[in-house]
Structure 1
Amino acid sequence: MRKPIAAAAALVLLVGMTACAGPSPRPGSTTDSTTSDASRSSDADWLARGNCRAVTSAPSDDGAAGPVLTVRGVGGGDGGIAVTMAQLDALPQVECTVDDRQAEGRTATFRGALLADVVRSVGVPSGDLQPGDVLHTAAVNDYSVDLPVSDTIDYPVLLATRLDGRPMTVAHYGPLRVVYPTTGFDLDPTVYDPRWIWQLTEISL
């Protein structure tokens, strides 16, 4: 079992995210920015299957100050592109209620942006990432795991910033966690549990 670390890490930042009313169409789908009501309904069904839903209200707090994530491989030089909590909060927000058997040991509600939306927000067109590609992720405690891009197509994979409505400290597995839907999708724990990376600090494309 990976352990939370009580010390904060040096993190980095991003530019130009804009808020919108609901989650973006699934990457690889035929919908685009002019998605119809029918396609939005389809996405709602997809979210609901994972016990997730789009939320339009702003978070009730400002979350962590300063950069919380570095995204490498899409410009920004060797330092990558840095992302702040405010920028993540400006993306379409989703809540998922899942069985967090690894960390909390209970059913918990997470809030954040879909991982696919986070990747697109740093300037990566959905067509540039193929299902066979991977997102290399790393945490403050040096844990790392590759997340298949196909996961972000098939499932509502969340980059969570809140747990039960509150920000997550580094000592409590935060401030960022990757959360997979454990309701409605037949996910093998031996395969998918290791992909629940917490204390996330970096994504490399």
Structure 2
Amino acid sequence: MTIRLLTAATLLAASLIPMRAEALDAPKGEVILTVTAPKLEHPNVDGTAQFDRAMLEALDGRTGRMETPWTEGSVSFSGPLLRAVLDAAGAHGTSLKVIALNDYAADVPMEDATAIDTMLATRMDGEPMSVRDKGPLFLVYPFDKDPGLFNEKYFSRSVWQIKTIEVSE
């Protein structure tokens, strides 16, 4: 009886200990996203978290069919949830600066990643997004799930051709 109680107590205690997240592997393909933060828990290249397409597409994501101001008709976007990317990098803070290839940048509150199912779309209608088609990454809000997001406030945060996300405390 005592051994069973001790075993049960040990298993319970072990289940209460937070599991350490897996280290982030180095990218094997072309780097399409770099995440920086003052305290990055899972850097993989020179203190940053760098991702290739395969790494991003392996993360928890979503697909949504929607209309946007930048596309013609209803299109399907798919890619990792923004919060999954930040979790993989171990990036925590209060705000994000999302920077495009042409250095256009938008400030995005961290709540947009944690409370809204925003995604970093890697595919449009099932095809990898090219730079010509707003790729390789496009910050897409879930307009399909919440029509209340379909306004200028969120349009201005919907950066395409993303290359970097800087997390601030």
Secondary structure of 2:132's aligned partner: helix
Q: Match for residue 45 of structure 1? A: none
Secondary structure of 1:106's aligned partner: coil
How many corresponding residue pairs?
A: 138
Quote the offset at 1:137 in angstroms: 0.8
Match of 2:32 among 68, 73, 87: 68
Q: Match for residue 63 of structure 2? A: 95
Q: Match for residue 96 of structure 2? A: 135
Q: 2: CA distance between counterparts of 1:82 and 1:152?
A: 18
- After TM superposition, the score normalised by the length of structure 2 is 0.74
Quote the offset at 1:89 in angstroms: 1.3
What letter is aligned with 2:151?
Answer: P
1:146-197, Cα deviation, whole Å (9 max, x unpaired)? 1111112332101110000000111111011000011342125121101110
Could you say which structure has the greater relative contact order, defined with CA pairs below 8 angstroms and 6 or more residues apart?
1
Q: Match for residue 87 of structure 2? A: 120
Where do 5+ consecutive residues of structure 2 fail to align? 1-22
Asked which structure has the greater CA Rg, the reply is 2
Runs of 4+ with >4 A deviation: 75-79
Q: 2: CA distance between counterparts of 1:94 and 1:188?
A: 18
Match of 1:203 among 155, 159, 165: 165
Q: Identity across aligned pairs (percent)?
A: 32
Q: Match for residue 75 of structure 2? A: 108
Q: 2: CA distance between counterparts of 1:154 and 1:162?
A: 23
Where do 5+ consecutive residues of structure 1 fail to align? 1-13, 18-64
Superposed CA RMSD in Å reads 2.1
